[in-house]
Amino acid sequence: MIEIETHVESAGEHLEHLTNKFAKRNLNKGRGKQCSNCHLRLDHNMRNCAIDKYLTSEQCGDPSKHPEERSLMDSATKNLKMLEKELRNKTNKYDTRLKGLNSARSSFAQTIRGALINSKKDNYLVKTGSGIFVPKSGLVNQDIAKLEKHFHGKVPDNVPEMSKTFQSIIQILIKKNFFILVLLLSNIQREKH
């Protein structure tokens, strides 16, 4: 991503450099008739041109009259456009992937949240001073994360029915983690001896 951005930047700088060199605006401005000898727009023609024929558009500012220099600029433009397109495509792909990831994540939490809270209200809700019940966000989010792990991020079919198993899944995960912890500790103890 950063690599392609750098390429676009340097391709842009290259084109700008060529433009400044071969297509200087101030040399070829004005609406006067262009002379086919000097390529300037000074309202004269090649018959009464007093200027030596220019061999490069560095002097006349009109690369369209100098095929080699024009093709240099054309290929620099083409290269820049190609890189810009590549960057756009990559950015789009990245955005789409991120969106997909975020929506999968938030939709799991959104779909599960209510059912989880309902599966053990006294555990997840706390009564505020004004008498309304609000969820304990920290605990709710922790348990959503456990369920998300258990279901591999996929919302289970029939959430209301499945929600009856939520608490035992969470308890098993807690026990499993506890068991792993005990195992780790006993290994450490054993290593000490």
Binding site for Zn ion (CB under 5 A): 35, 37-39, 49, 51, 54, 57, 60, 65
Shortest Å, Cβ 63 to Zn ion: 8
Closer of 64 and 187 to Zn ion (Cβ): 64
Closer of 27 and 112 to Zn ion (Cβ): 27
Judge residue 125's burial from the number of C-beta atoms within 10 Å of its C-beta, 0-12 exposed, 13-18 middle, 19 or more buried.
Answer: middle
Shortest Å, Cβ 12 to Zn ion: 25
Closer of 7 and 65 to Zn ion (Cβ): 65
Helix then strand count (H, E) for the chain reads 7, 2
What token pair was written down for 67?
Answer: 């095929």
For tokens 């890189």, name the residue: 83
Shortest Å, Cβ 21 to Zn ion: 13
CA gap 129, 126 in Å, rounded: 10
Closer of 66 and 146 to Zn ion (Cβ): 66
CA gap 159, 111 in Å, rounded: 8
Closer of 32 and 114 to Zn ion (Cβ): 32
Shortest Å, Cβ 79 to Zn ion: 24
Shortest Å, Cβ 64 to Zn ion: 9
What token pair was written down for 28?
Answer: 């070829």
Closest residue by beta carbon to Zn ion: 35
Mention every residue, 6+ apart, whose C-beta is less than 8 A from residue 171: none
SS3 125: strand
